[in-house]
Structure 1
Amino acid sequence: MDTDVIIGQGVVYFEQAWGFAKGWLLSPAAWTQFGLLVVAYVAALFVTRKILPTVQKFLTPAEDQDTYLAKARRFVLMFAPLVLPLLAYALTGIGESVTRSVFGSGEVIAFGKRVFMFLAARILVREIITDPLMKVLGRYLLVPIAGLYALGFLDEVMLKLDETVVPLGNLSFSLLFLIRFVLVGGAIFWLGRWSNEQSSSFIKNQSEMRPAMRELTAKTAEIAIFGVAFLLLMNIMGISLTSLAVLTGAIGVGLGFGLQKIASNFISGIILLLEGQATVGDYVELDGGEAGTIVKMTARAAILETYDGKWIVVPNEDFITTRVVNYSDSGSANRYEAPFSVSYGTDINLVPDIVEAAVAENPDVLKDPFPPDCELRGFGDSGVDFAVEFWVNGIDDGRHKYTSDVLFRIWNALKDNGIEIPYPHRVVELRDTRKNPDT
């Protein structure tokens, strides 16, 4: 009996479905919508193939161009894959308005229009978005939302999400609000990060500004951009800042007790940028033994790169509270010395002129503030000890081995003038300590 009921119910559903399909197949409105849908896609495909190559050629700058106009053209060019689905969507929308005005219905063509929008969202996520965070948001939020929109279930799902409320202390919000917040917030902060990269690149290219001032201006612009992005997000989502008083109070307590070092490093970084005593490009050495070239200064720390390629993260506070030796200081000269010896048979009065002339031939050795200066240092066990002092712009390490080249020049100059460089001598005295057998 139950089986007969099930079969009967199935026959009823089949007859209803067949009646609907038959009515659709014989409906002029349905076929008209389907035809307009095909015509809209073919027209969009034709226009895209005819116009898009010309537009792409116009928007493509030369490879060596790096101006802001060239960057803007490359940015617009990224969205070229969206032309076909969006154009088909627009043309289908026109067709939908025609069918609704003539036949009073447009479900078929409306479904096709929504499918074109889904394809556009899919292309955007797969081919255009490169940022990892935005790609994740697009894959797991934007594409599913576009799929629900194409199937016509978006309104029901949004209503259900809006009814699902999540309490959070004195605050409460719906799942729909949370999804909107994540999508809008991700888009706004991605735009903020892109704007920050462009502004930072522009500021750092201003060579007439001091390096420290460039860093300070870039950090100020970064704080301003993300501050505006945060306020814009709050305004778009309709969140009153006063409603976050409890949350911000808790964050303030956490900053006061748990994040003292971060706050201290942040203030120290601002002081460093204002004073300009250590900035990007300087070679510094700290009391703790850390030494390297500053390659980046963040809100929390400075990044030092050693000559063996390692990166050292030094908190900004260490630059304020400890002794720091800055060997660069915006390109100031540094003095080094190269010790050597000559044999005792040498006329030592000739040595200074020979060595100073040889060292001065090095193109990196400066004449100002002082030219090379060869000094007598003492009389050693094996020879007469000298040292030549010389000044250079830079650090005697890494790519610039100044002392090595200077010693090569000293060796060659002394050899050319017949002056011997001694090797260690030791005199060994043998004594016969045996007693005389006759006494």
Structure 2
Amino acid sequence: MAYHNRLAQVANGVSVDNQIDQVISLGTRFVDFMSKYADMFVRPWNLYQIGIAIGLFVLAHILRAVLGPRIRAWMAARENWPKWRMRVLVIVHQRLRAIFFVALIWITILIMREATWNSRSYLLSIVGTLAFAWLVVVFATRLIKSPVLRKTVRWSAWTYVTLYVLDLVEDAEQLLDSAGFQIGDIRFSLLLLVQSLVILGVLISLARFLTKTTSNRVRNNADISPSMQVLIVKAVQIAFYGMAFYLGVRALGIDLTGLAVLSGAIGVGLGFGLQKVVSNLVSGVIILLDKSIKPGDVISLGETFGWINALGARYVSVVTRDGKEYLIPNEDLITGQVVNWSHSNEFVRLDINFGTSYTDNPHDVRRIAIEAAQSVDRVLTSRPTVCHIVGFGDSSVDYILRFWISDPTGGLTNIRGNVFLALWDAFQEHDISIPFPQREVKMLEAENVSKEADRSLPSA
């Protein structure tokens, strides 16, 4: 037992010593990396070139301050130019100082190469190449619309271009690779982390561009129904992003076969723990396939009435007339009773009940009610508006008025209110009364009240 403890202590000591050696080696490589290129800046001609570069940058700043407002005024006068051309001019105006600096430094380099040895403009050539490369990266990354992704790609490209121009790519790779550790057959290091970020970033950006382009083409195709458009867009997103992740992992040399058993076990666990989520996902696919609802449809589900704003993978977004947005699970739309006011067509029939006095002619009431309903803007005149007697009430003759509309997305309560208001105005104009319950009260004299009370008393 003591022997095994001694071996463990020795092994731990060796492990600690190896870690210390790795840290010392990493520090030594970094110092060598910095000192290798530090002495070039202390030579006289290199100091002169650094001074020239700083002077040219100051001159570029002065030109930007002097010519910038004039160029901006000239741009403002170009009213009939296309929008894309004005955007290019805006981007160029934002980088005037860098453009002036690149132009000035390369003019200086060409003059110095003609007047003196090339070695005396070597450092300026490096600065000019870096400035031009950084400027190209800035204009290229403007095509990326996401601000976060644009900055990430821009700084990554600047770093790589700088290392490439200075011929430090291999040294930087060795430095990053030296900071790592080994787990099984896979070595994890800063180099692997950088490579994974770059590869996955490029592939995901490409997948995003292809997905957006394909989605725009699908949405602009009038021959494809809205529900099928949503289904195709989601399928394209899953396919492109899944392919980008798979290719990125494979490009890094990570073997995915070892994850097959683990993913199977995780899948079984998720199947039991996420039944509702999976049910909503499957229900969402069914909704898209059977085209029962689509974006823009007006539906009623329980107390919720509104139009469908978006079809999600797990829920459907329904916006009501009061601005509330309900996120209804897809499973509820499959298993519950849903009223789709615009499923097969946009025509909706609405009913209004009212009553008039027995003294009013019912033939006139029906005619006036129909004319009043048809005078409302949203009521269709192409479909018949009818009015029928449905009963003789205690104090009124009861009617039902039926009319059609073709825009349920505009609301139902407001159109009913407008028709009621039109009925009120029409009945007031034609002296048609709307009855209401009335009660008749009889006042008895005191003598009669006492007699009635005596009658109500029980006999002895």
In structure 2, the residue matched to 1:305 is 319
Change (3 A) 1:345 1:123: same
In structure 1, the residue matched to 2:14 is none
- State the TM-score, normalizing by the size of structure 1: 0.71
In structure 2, the residue matched to 1:4 is none
* Counterpart among 189, 195, 205 of residue 210 in structure 2: 195
Change (3 A) 1:260 1:77: farther
Offset from partner CA, 1:282-330 (integer Å, 9 cap, x none): 112225x443211101222211111111111112222222222211215
Q: CA deviation at 1:351?
A: 1.3
CA distance in 2, matches of 1:317, 1:281: 20
One-letter amino acid of the structure 2 residue matched with residue 177 of structure 1: L
- Larger mean CA deviation between 385-394 and 149-158 belongs to 149-158
Change (3 A) 1:139 1:22: closer
Q: CA deviation at 1:163?
A: 2.1
One-letter amino acid of the structure 2 residue matched with residue 252 of structure 1: G
CA distance in 2, matches of 1:436, 1:102: 133
CA distance in 2, matches of 1:87, 1:247: 58
In structure 1, the residue matched to 2:82 is 62
CA distance in 1, matches of 2:402, 2:453: 61
Change (3 A) 1:399 1:419: closer
In structure 2, the residue matched to 1:242 is 257
Give the SS at the match of 1:345: coil
- Larger mean CA deviation between 165-174 and 414-423 belongs to 165-174
- 8 Å Cα contact 2:349-2:404 kept in structure 1: yes
Give the CA RMSD over aligned residues: 4.9
Give the SS at the match of 1:349: helix
Give the SS at the match of 2:198: helix
One-letter amino acid of the structure 1 residue matched with residue 449 of structure 2: T
Q: Is 1:162–2:185 an aligned residue pair? A: no
CA distance in 1, matches of 2:424, 2:144: 61
Give the SS at the match of 1:420: coil
One-letter amino acid of the structure 2 residue matched with residue 215 of structure 1: V
Offset from partner CA, 1:38-59 (integer Å, 9 cap, x none): 899999x99xx9xx9999x99x
Change (3 A) 1:420 1:170: farther
- State the TM-score, normalizing by the size of structure 2: 0.68
In structure 2, the residue matched to 1:340 is 354
In structure 2, the residue matched to 1:351 is 365
Q: Is 1:329–2:343 an aligned residue pair? A: yes
Offset from partner CA, 1:22-79 (integer Å, 9 cap, x none): 9832x5x876798799899999x99xx9xx9999x99x9735xxxxxx6xx7997887
Q: How many residues align?
A: 404
Give the SS at the match of 2:400: strand
Offset from partner CA, 1:178-236 (integer Å, 9 cap, x none): 12222332343234334333332332222233222222222233223323333443454
* Counterpart among 185, 192, 206 of residue 177 in structure 1: 192
- 8 Å Cα contact 2:386-2:402 kept in structure 1: yes
In structure 2, the residue matched to 1:14 is none
- Larger mean CA deviation between 103-112 and 259-268 belongs to 103-112
Structure 1: runs of 5+ lacking an equivalent: 1-19, 64-69
Q: CA deviation at 1:403?
A: 0.9
How high is the sequence identity, in percent, across the aligned residues?
A: 30
- 8 Å Cα contact 2:341-2:408 kept in structure 1: yes
In structure 1, the residue matched to 2:43 is 24
